[in-house]
Amino acid sequence: MGFAIQFVIDVLSLGGAYALMALGLVIIYGILRLVNFAYGELIMVAGYTMYLTSGSGLPWIMMAVFAVVMAVAFGIFTDYAAFRPVRAKSVTAVLITSFAFSNLLQNAALLFISPRPRNVPLPEIFSQTVSIGGAITPVRNLITIAASIVLLAAVAFLMRKTTLGIAMRAAATNFTMARMLGVPANLIISSAFALSGFLAGVVGILWIGRIGTVVPGIGLEPLLVAFIATVIGGMRSLSGAVFGGFLLALIDTTLNYTLSQDLLKFRDAFTFGLVILILLWRPEGLIRGPASGQRT
Amino acid sequence: MLDIRDLLVNYGTIRAVRGIGFNLAKGELVSLLGANGAGKSTTLKCIAGALKASGGSITLDGTNITSASPEQVVRAGLATVPETRDVFPDLTVSENLMLGAYIHRRDRAGNRDNLERVHNLFPRLAEREGQAAGTLSGGEQQMLVIARALMSRPSVLLLDEPSLGLAPAIVERIFEMIETLKRTGLTILLVEQNVNQTLAVADRAYIMRLGKIVASGTANEIRSTTDLSAHYLGG
Ligand SMILES: Nc1ncnc2c1ncn2[C@@H]1O[C@H](COP(=O)(O)OP(=O)(O)O)[C@@H](O)[C@H]1O
Ligand SMILES: [Mg+2]
């Protein structure tokens, strides 16, 4: 019993984090048909903001809010620096600028901060554990689950009930038509980058909360996770990305529980093997998004 | 109301529209006829701001909108219904209509009145309010894109082949609806291949062939003097 509860909590907390990462990536992809390779650096920005404000004496929650604000600001900045100038040009140009921007941010962190891990302040509660039905589990995991439920619900509300959200969904299926109805392209794109940055900021704090330190390359794993989750879930669908995140977490956690010690270091190889099988079976991803037109 | 002069539109090296000019007076229903590939849709997309003109000018009610963005054009009072019948398939009928009113989104009372007007024009859409637009029939989707364009309260409406691929009974309804809209004083540019039905409702018509306008006149003149089939079959 305790074991089962432990497993479910592990899957849900890892899955919640993965789902948020994937959602932040697919929101941009849905609208621009482009993967933002500088997405992981938004998590890095959130982490270093926490590190840099750690001596300020602010309450932790204020630092966290500030870190999220910085991730949002950098999200919007990514659009202006890497996407907007070349958006009308080729896909290749944008892919390269988004790689370059990612590298630039990482190298800035290397140069101006340090290649070595830096401590990020964490509240007491992140290192506490509780016992639920016999399973000892970090409170951090429960916070992650709660945060992902709240955020997924908030994003669902935004996308379904608000004019901005509905306009973003419309723009994701047919950008030109949305513009012909007066939906401003730049507003939609900036909103998507802001939302992406917001999700990256929150998930960044939760993610970094697992290790307590930030390094310049911290964003690579979240980017990879988000990318794989969206690919298996279906690049065009928001719910697909969330589903893909939880599925990937289920696979990872199951392998963690079942692989023997000496096989565990090859866990990612098993995960990717399964991902390849899923894609052979369903090349479009598991959840089809709406049929959609050209990239914009 | 709408004045097009020497309009040039290219796709790379393909010259799709080669210096055409035409105009619409307020409240007029003008038709642009021509075979497939004549450049009619290209002209409409360019007026709508979705394609850049390589030359010439587009003036709407005295304002130059030649290089305006699509969002600026609809704000200026010109709505476009493309031939591709672009409903947002995963959005419901009412969400589609709500986006049509995007530029008036703060005027809720006005939108409610306008929605009622649109529902009177297309009772079918009222019945299907909560349904995903992608699940509508072709005729219903056509009604939805026209209704959505009307939600922006345009003074000029561009319609690109609204009867394309629809059953005769539905085509009949669409043309009736176009006449109703004309009676409300809306200025309409109607692109069609359905010559007889179009000339029956249009005040004037222009005939396009290979990117140029080759004939123009009142509907009666076009009907009696132009050898339509030559322009069509030769298109
Ligand atoms: N996206 C495009 N790229 C290149 N050529 C195009 C494109 N769209 C249309 N054309 C060409 O432009 C010409 C006019 O097309 P179009 O405006 O669609 O004609 P119509 O609407 O009168 O059938 C045709 O020769 C067509 O092949
Ligand atoms: Mg056409």
- Which residues of chain A are within 8 Å of residue B74 when distances are taken between CB atoms? 180-182
Residue type, B19: G
pLDDT tens across B117-143, in order?
999 999 999 999 999 999 999 999 999
Domain A2-281 indexed as CATH 1.10.1200: no
Tokens of A146: 């709660």
Q: Is the pLDDT of residue B230 over 90?
A: no
Q: Which two tokens stand for residue B28?
A: 């007029």
- Indicate if the alpha-carbon torsion angle A135, A141, A146, A150 is positive or negative: negative
Q: Show me where the domains of chain B are located.
A: 1-77+187-235
What is the C-alpha to C-alpha distance for residues B119 and B116, in angstroms, rounded to an integer? 5
Whether A1 has a pLDDT exceeding 80, the answer reads no
Task: Determine the 3-state secondary structure of B60 from DSSP.
Answer: strand
pLDDT tens for each residue of B174-197 = 999 999 999 999 999 999 988 888
pLDDT (tens digit, 9 = 90+) per residue, B200-227? 999 999 999 999 999 898 888 888 876 6
Q: Supply the pLDDT for residue B25.
A: 95
Sort out which chain B residues have CB atoms less than 8 A from A169's CB and list them.
Answer: 88, 90-91
- State the distance from the centre of ligand 2 to the C-alpha of B41, rounded, in angstroms: 4
How far, in Å, is the centroid of ligand 2 from the Cα of A79? 34
For residue B228, name the pLDDT band (cuts at 50, 70, 90).
Answer: low
pLDDT of amino acid A92: 85
Round to whole Å and give the CA distance between A79 and B50: 22
- Percent of chain B residues past pLDDT 90, beyond the cut: 84
The whole-number average pLDDT for the span B26-41 is 93
What is the C-alpha separation between A34 and B150, in angstroms, rounded? 33
DSSP code per residue over chain A: -HHHHHHHHHHHHHHHHHHHHHHHHHHHHHHHS---TTHHHHHHHHHHHHHHHTTS---HHHHHHHHHHHHHHHHHHHIIIIIGGGTTS-HHHHHHHHHHHHHHHHHHHHHHT-SS-EE----GGGG-EEEETTEEEEHHHHHHHHHHHHHHHHHHHHHHHSHHHHHHHHHHH-HHHHHHTT--HHHHHHHHHHHHHHHHHHHHHHHHHHHSEE-TTTTHHHHHHHHHHHHHH-TT-HHHHHHHHHHHHHHHHHHHHHS-HHHHTTHHHHHHHHHHHHHHH-TT-SS---------
- pLDDT band of residue B233 (cuts 50, 70, 90) is very low
**Predicted local distance difference test score (pLDDT) of residue B234:** 46
pLDDT at A282 over 90: no
Ligand 1 midpoint to CA B58 (Å): 20
- With a 6 Å cutoff on the Cβ, whether B13 touches ligand 1 is no
Q: Which amino acid is at A289?
A: G
Distance from CA of B71 to the nearest CA of A (A): 4
How many angstroms separate the CA of residue A173 from the nearest CA in chain B? 7
- Residue-wise pLDDT for B45-62, tens only, equals 999 999 999 999 999 999
Gap between the Cα atoms of A70 and A64, Å rounded = 10
- Sort strands A135-138 and A129-132 into parallel, antiparallel or unpaired: antiparallel
Q: Are B146 and B87 in contact (CB under 8 A)?
A: no
Please indicate whether, in this complex, the C-beta atoms of B134 and A291 are within 8 angstroms of each other.
yes
Q: Would the CB of B229 count as within 6 Å of ligand 1? A: no
For chain A, domain boundaries: 2-281
Residue nearest to atom 12 of ligand 1 (CA): B16
Report the C-alpha gap between B191 and B163 in whole angstroms: 10
Which two structure tokens, joined as six digits, stand for A269? 């190889």
Strand, coil or helix: what is B80? strand
Burial class (CB in 10 A: 0-12, 13-18, 19+), B155: middle
Residues B73-103 pLDDT 10s: 999 999 999 998 899 998 999 999 999 999 9
pLDDT of residue B204: 95
Q: What is the mean pLDDT of chain A?
A: 88
| Confidence at residue A289, expressed as pLDDT on a 0 to 100 scale | 61
pLDDT in the model for residue A234 = 80
Using DSSP's 3-state secondary structure scheme, residue B117 falls into helix
pLDDT confidence tier of residue A283, bands split at 50, 70 and 90: confident
> In sequence order, which residues have a C-beta less than 8 Å from that of residue A95 and are 6 or more positions away?
A34, A35, A37
Instruction: Output B168 or A30, whichever has higher pLDDT.
Output: B168
Q: Which of A286, A169, A273, A172 is nearest to A232 (CA)?
A: A286
β-pair partners for A137: A130
Q: Can you tell me which atom of ligand 1 is nearest the CA of B83?
A: 21
Q: Do A180 and B82 touch (CB under 8 A)?
A: yes
Instruction: Say how far apart CA B200 and CA B134 lie, in whole Å.
Output: 32
Using DSSP's 3-state secondary structure scheme, residue B59 falls into strand
Least confident span in A234-243, B20-29, B101-110, B139-148: A234-243
Residue B97 is predicted with a pLDDT of 96
B109 lines ligand 1 (CB under 6 A): no
With residue B204 as reference, give the H or E element that holds it. Answer: strand B204-209
User: Between A173, A182, A289, which is nearest B74 by CB?
Assistant: A182
Q: Tens digits of per-residue pLDDT, A192-212?
A: 999 999 999 999 999 998 888
User: Which residues have CB under 8 Å from B134's CB, separation 6+?
Assistant: A290, A291, B87, B89, B90
Burial annotation A92-120 (CB, 10 A radius, 16+ → b, else e) = eebbebbeebbeebbeebeeeeeeeebeb
- Report chain B residues touching chain A, CB-CB < 8 A: 48-50, 69-71, 73-75, 79-80, 82, 86, 88-91, 95, 98-100, 102-103, 105, 134, 148, 152
- Rounded to whole angstroms, the Cα distance separating B63 from B184 reads 23
For an interface test with B, the pick among A31, A177, A180 (most B C-beta atoms closer than 10 Å) comes out as: A180
Tell whether the model's pLDDT for residue A296 goes beyond 80: no
Q: How far apart are CA B23 and CA B39, in angstroms?
A: 17
Centre of ligand 2 from the C-alpha of residue B36, in Å:
6
- Mention every residue, 6+ apart, whose C-beta is less than 8 A from residue A92: none
CATH of B1-77+187-235, one of 3.40.50.300, 3.40.50.970, 1.25.50.10, 3.20.20.150: 3.40.50.300
Give the least confident one: A9-18, A225-234, B61-70.
Answer: A225-234
Residue A105's pLDDT is what?
92
- At residue A70, the pLDDT reads 96
Question: How do residues A64-122 score in pLDDT, each as one tens digit?
Answer: 999 999 999 999 999 898 888 887 777 788 888 888 999 999 999 999 988 899 988 88
pLDDT of residue B156: 96
The pairing of beta strand B204-209 with beta strand B29-34: parallel
Cβ-defined contact of A180 to B103 (cutoff 8 Å): no
Give the alpha-carbon dihedral of A91, A92, A94, A98, to 10 degrees: 140
